[in-house]
Amino acid sequence: MRYSSLTRRIAGEGTDAWLTHLLAIERLARGEDIILLSIGDPDFDTPRPIRAAAEAALEHGRTHYSPIGGEPALRNAIAAVSSPVLGRTVDPGEIVIYPGAQAALYTLAQCLFDPGDEVITPEPTYVTYEGVLGAAGATMRQIPLRPERGFHLDPADLERAITPRTRGVMLNFPHNPTGATLTWEEAEAVAKVVTRHDLVLISDEVYAALTFDRPHLSPASLPGMAERTAVVSSLSKSHAMTGWRCGWSITPKPLVAHLVNLAMCMYFGVAQFVQDSAAEALTHAGEELAAIRSAYARRAHLVVDLLGRVPGLVVRMPEAGMYIFADVRGTGMDGKQFASALLDAVGVAVTPGEGFGPSGAGHVRITLGTGDARLRNACERIERFVKSGALISSGRP
């Protein structure tokens, strides 16, 4: 069988990030005692009011085609919660609903970029970005988020990366995998670069509701940015709804028609009962969101406290999200070696940082999506692994 060139463009290096996780899944299926800290799937049940909304929707026959751009009730709810964040009145007509934020990113890339365009992305970069941009024929041009800066964006790097082929910037703050946020100064500098060079910005803000110490700042809220920014978000992490597959974009209205045209070719709308549940989450699940956010902050402190005492590891408290990005270079191993040996030795699965880009080398991503007791057990296993000499006995340098 002959394959299209698309198959090469979507098979970027980021796919390697999942190898340890897939091996761990296989071992778990065989009945082994494996602790999965390698994927961002919350252990929380979707809050009861959201599930109840789905049950009610199903009872009322909400299982038919929905408007391709999204149900009015959900678009209205997103507009209401987004307006204070973006500092303006968001029109529901600026919103498109997708089966997850990943579909939103893909659809936006297809409608905004042509083959040969360059799109600047900070790295460590979420592993699907290369494939998303590659599918559109665009090239991902990475700039570093350096560990010594707490993985915060250096606007000077963004300016230096501009070339005549640059068409856009794709940001992810709060950041996966590092948990870094965007400061006012950084956001302002990004806005100046984007407007000065007449670029478009895709702002992936799926962790916006999970900041710990200060509110989320969207670059789309700065002057002159609304007309050139596409904001992407979802309820997957904030409301424990990963499997529901419901995300959205907020864009200038002229772009909406193109996004809906592509959606018509791809998935023809998101299930009605899913959208009803998402509207319920945004309007009536505030207490549940606060509890989930508090749990992630508590778990992050737990992991930092436990692993911070382990020689060879450097861990920092994230500013948002559900991950710890741990520096393992002090063990003499890179992230791939550490993750592989850790799984073999003590049955803990983490994600090697190399899969997220060069700045992630020598790090591993630890997901906080498991209970406190299980998380403590995992940290104790990691400590035992590092201190036991398993690094040397594994045959790796």
* Domain count within the chain: 2
Domain boundary among 246, 266, 284: 284
What does the pLDDT look like over 174-196, one tens digit per residue?
A: 999 999 999 999 999 999 999 99
Domain check: are 305 and 172 in the same one? Answer: no
pLDDT exceeds 90 at position 267:
yes
Domain check: are 19 and 137 in the same one? Answer: no
What's this model's pTM, rounded to 2 decimal places? 0.93
Domain boundary among 284, 301, 327: 284
3-state secondary structure of 165: coil
Average pLDDT rounded to a whole number, residues 36-45: 91
Domain boundary among 284, 301, 319: 284
Domain check: are 107 and 174 in the same one? Answer: yes
Domain check: are 278 and 292 in the same one? Answer: no
What does the pLDDT look like over 343-394, one tens digit per residue?
A: 999 999 999 999 899 999 999 999 999 999 999 999 999 999 999 875 544 4
**Considering Cα of 254, then 258, then 259, then 263, what sign does the dihedral take?**
positive
Which residues neighbour 267 within 8 Å (Cβ) at sequence distance 6 or greater? Answer: 98, 99, 103
Domain check: are 272 and 304 in the same one? Answer: no
Domain check: are 291 and 272 in the same one? Answer: no
Domain that holds residue 240: 64-284
Is 59 within the bounds of a domain? no
- 129: domain CATH number is 3.40.640.10
Domain check: are 32 and 114 in the same one? Answer: no
Domain check: are 334 and 185 in the same one? Answer: no
Domain check: are 211 and 349 in the same one? Answer: no
**Considering Cα of 171, then 174, then 176, then 180, what sign does the dihedral take?**
positive
Domain check: are 187 and 310 in the same one? Answer: no
Domain check: are 81 and 109 in the same one? Answer: yes
Confidence of residue 9 (pLDDT cuts 50, 70, 90): confident
Distance of alpha carbon 55 from alpha carbon 53, whole angstroms = 5
Distance of alpha carbon 96 from alpha carbon 83, whole angstroms = 15
Domain check: are 296 and 215 in the same one? Answer: no
